[in-house]
């Protein structure tokens, strides 16, 4: 256990659905991250939040909408996704750019 | 791209042998980190080496950093079946305020 939790662990959704992924850490970290991991592709950084402020949006389509209500919680709201968005979505937290602590991930399948 | 590159992409060895993975990167870094990922799970931090360090050890892990060649290596000694996983290097580029992950090396330890 890394101290970072993600729910749900698995999610199947249709292209017209709206769903949200949740990430939680109580490690006292100031930075939180969303990554996308697709088969045979490098880990892709999607968003970075530092002290609740978004500091990085790596050209992510608007159908992915992040929310960081406080330093311990991070959400990824999903709507009108495409099948190519199927992937493992990983959340991580850290203090500055030192060690990142990853959650177990949400395996997303878009039908 | 600032992305690091791991070499080899896949490595298969017998239990008890040593495994060496390499990582090359492109610009100046603050630190370089190695992570491990079991299939479909989150990444787990293994070791961090700073730009002013040349070698670091942690248990059966040995990491070296050559900033003149912009490369790092991860050595796992006396490998075990449980070491089977993907291994990623991540670089903290100066001024980037984020980690950039490589594509990873898939390590298989055969009993």
pLDDT grade for B5, boundaries at 50, 70 and 90 = confident
Condensed to tens digits (0 to 9), the pLDDT of residues B17-75 reads: 999 999 999 988 999 999 999 988 899 999 999 999 999 999 999 999 999 999 999 99
Contact B43 A107 (CB under 8 A): no
pLDDT grade for B2, boundaries at 50, 70 and 90 = low
The residues that bridge with A5 in the sheet, in sequence order, are A24
Q: According to the model, what pLDDT value does residue B3 have?
A: 63
CB-defined contacts A:B, below 8 A = 60
Q: According to the model, what pLDDT value does residue B47 have?
A: 96
Beta pairing class for A44-50 and A31-37: antiparallel
Of A50, A92, A98, nearest to B48 by CB-CB distance is A98
Check if A75 contacts B (Cβ < 8 Å). no
Contacts of A56 in chain B (CB under 8 A): 97-98
Please provide the average confidence, as pLDDT, over all residues in chain B: 92
Angle, alpha carbons A29-A34-A35 (nearest 5°): 125
Q: According to the model, what pLDDT value does residue B18 have?
A: 98
Per the CB < 8 A criterion, the answer to whether A91 and A6 are in contact is yes
pLDDT grade for B89, boundaries at 50, 70 and 90 = very high
Query: In the structure encoding, which two tokens stand for residue A106, read together?
Result: 């949400």
Residue of B nearest to A107 (CA): B40
Contact A97 B44 (CB under 8 A): no
């Amino acid at each position: 256990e890394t101290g970072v939790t993600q729910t749900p662990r698995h999610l199947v959704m249709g292209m017209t659905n709206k769903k949200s992924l949740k990430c939680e850490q109580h490690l006292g970290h100031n930075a939180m991250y969303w990554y996308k991991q697709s088969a045979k592709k490098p880990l892709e950084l999607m968003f970075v939040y530092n002290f609740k402020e978004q500091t990085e949006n790596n050209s992510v389509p608007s159908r992915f909408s992040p929310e960081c209500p406080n330093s311990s919680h991070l959400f990824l709201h999903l709507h009108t996704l495409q099948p190519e968005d199927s992937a493992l979505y990983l959340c991580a937290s850290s203090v500055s750019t030192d060690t990142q602590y990853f959650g177990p991930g949400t395996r997303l399948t878009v039908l | 791209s600032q992305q690091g590159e791991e070499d080899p992409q896949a490595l298969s060895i017998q239990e008890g042998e040593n495994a060496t993975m390499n990582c090359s990167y492109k610009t100046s870094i603050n630190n370089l980190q190695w992570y491990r990922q079991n299939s479909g799970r989150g990444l787990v931090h293994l070791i961090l080496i700073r730009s002013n360090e040349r070698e670091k050890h942690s248990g059966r892990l040995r990491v070296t950093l050559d900033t003149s060649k912009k490369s790092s290596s991860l050595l796992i000694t006396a490998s075990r079946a449980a070491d089977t996983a993907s291994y990623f290097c991540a670089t903290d580029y100066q001024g980037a305020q984020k980690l950039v992950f490589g594509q990873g090396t898939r390590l298989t330890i055969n009993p």
